[in-house]
């Protein structure tokens, strides 16, 4: 068993134009002041990082590391959630997802995809340069509009969709392999990888690629009504990253999992700040520790009710209180009789 690292914080939901959220130095000092020990960086936010330089400029890498260290945190992980989304976009979503890309490739799906793939490769190099072995992203989606099978899906459609998705990702996974970094997909509604079954489909389509791994976020499974504890039993060997995010599901006679197109405040399933939802984090931390997960416990704040600032203040001590310092000995060692093969044979009545 190993002890989970943390607390860490994902900076994406906190970056802004006003201090202390306006640049990397300020937000690192803010996070450290709240008790966080590591930061997960959204690589698309120029206020936080220059991804091109992080991939190619050794002086910049050292500068970033020194800024973080001086503030009192370490750079734990990088994220390309928005860029990963653009690796695979169904045409129905082109206009909605164009905003994730720079202006020069908007309205041009092929150029947008090429840009996204290059971003992933830059992130792989940046991770290597910073000595980080895992990377967070989304898979994108070609099939999401067929998630509920009405009208009936044509035979072979799902297989064709995952074949194409794997075709797009396989060169990226290979490139990450060259850099010694795991790609950790956040299993998330809106992605073709949104539960265990779809992850397995994709994994098989990639030839069980060794760099195809998981970011575990139980909040999405609460909203799907999926057993998020048994999920760890199934996939612990592939879980390399961990978002600590809470959620609740309160169905009514009017609305359930699909949410009735309601806003987040009114949906039966909604994300909450840590401790305000229904996720059993004590059991999660226990299971992850049991299976030897030694990555970061990273708080991701998404709450429709509580402010981001309060959520962040409460998040660090919440995570710290759940991290288990794993034991180095058995609780009944005091009563041990030592190891003796002859004595064991005697107990078994063999002599």
Cα angle 309, 313, 315; round to 5? 110
Residue 335 is predicted with a pLDDT of 66
Q: Indicate the Cα dihedral angle 274, 275, 281, 283, nearest 10°.
A: 180
Report the distance separating Cα 87 and Cα 116, nearest Å. 6
- Positions in the chain whose pLDDT score sits under 50: none
Supply the CATH number for residue 81's domain: 3.20.20.150
Domain count along the chain? 1
How close are the terminal C-alpha atoms of the chain, in Å? 36
How many helices, marked H, and strands, marked E, lie in the chain? 13, 10
CA–CA distance, 134 with 51 (Å, rounded to integer): 16
Q: Which pairs from 90-95 meet CB under 8 Å and 24+ separation?
A: 90/141, 90/142, 90/143, 90/144, 90/145, 92/145, 93/141
Instruction: Output the pLDDT for position 111.
Output: 98
Buried (b) or exposed (e) across 305-342, using 16+ Cβ within 10 A?
eeebeebbebbbebbeebbeeeeeeeeeeeeeeeeeee
Q: What does 149-165 look like in DSSP terms, one character per residue?
A: --SPPPTTHHHHHHHHH
CB distance 224 to 189 below 8 Å = yes
Strand, coil or helix: 343: helix
d(CA 306, CA 288): 28
Q: Do residues 297 and 242 touch, judged by C-beta distance below 8 A?
A: yes
pLDDT the model gives residue 247: 98
Is residue 3 within 8 Å of residue 325, measured between CB atoms? yes
Predicted local distance difference test score (pLDDT) of residue 334: 64
Sign of CA dihedral 236, 238, 243, 249: negative
Assign 62 to helix, strand or coil.
helix
297: helix, coil or strand? strand
Closest to 211 in 3D by CA, of 235, 180, 242: 180
Containing structural domain, residue 108: 5-347
Pairing type for strands 239-244 and 296-299 reads parallel
């Amino acid at each position: 068993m190993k002890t989970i690292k943390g607390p860490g914080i994902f900076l994406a939901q906190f970056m802004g134009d006003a201090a202390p959220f306006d640049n990397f130095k300020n937000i690192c000092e803010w996070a450290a002041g709240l008790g966080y020990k590591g930061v997960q960086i959204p690589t698309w936010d120029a206020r936080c990082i220059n991804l091109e330089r992080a991939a190619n400029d050794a002086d910049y890498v050292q500068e970033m590391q020194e800024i973080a260290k001086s503030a009192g945190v370490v750079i734990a992980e990088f994220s390309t959630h928005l860029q990963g989304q653009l690796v695979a976009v169904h045409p129905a979503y082109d206009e909605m997802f164009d905003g994730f890309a720079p202006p020069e490739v908007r309205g041009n799906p092929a150029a947008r995809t090429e840009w996204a793939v290059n971003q992933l490769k830059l992130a792989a190099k940046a991770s290597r340069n910073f000595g980080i072995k895992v990377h967070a992203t989304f898979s994108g989606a070609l099939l999401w509009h067929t998630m509920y099978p009405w009208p009936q899906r044509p035979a072979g459609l799902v297989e064709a969709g995952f074949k194409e998705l794997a075709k797009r990702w396989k060169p990226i996974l290979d490139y990450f392999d060259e850099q010694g970094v795991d790609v950790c997909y956040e299993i998330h509604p809106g992605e073709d990888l949104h539960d265990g079954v779809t992850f397995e489909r994709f994994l098989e389509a990639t030839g069980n690629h060794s760099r195809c791994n998981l970011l575990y976020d139980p909040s999405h499974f609460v909203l799907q009504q999926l057993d998020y504890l048994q999920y760890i039993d199934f996939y612990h060997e592939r879980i390399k990253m961990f978002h600590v995010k809470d959620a609740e599901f309160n169905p009514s006679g009017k609305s359930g999992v699909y949410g009735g197109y309601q806003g987040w405040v009114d949906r039966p399933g909604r994300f909450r700040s840590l401790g305000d939802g229904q996720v059993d984090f004590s059991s999660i931390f226990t299971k992850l520790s049991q299976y030897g997960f030694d990555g970061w416990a990273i708080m991701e704040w998404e709450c429709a009710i509580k402010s981001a600032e309060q959520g962040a203040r409460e998040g660090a001590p919440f995570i710290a209180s759940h991290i288990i310092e794993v034991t180095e000995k058995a609780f009944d060692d005091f009563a041990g009789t030592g190891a003796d093969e002859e004595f064991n044979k005697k107990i078994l009545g063999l002599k």
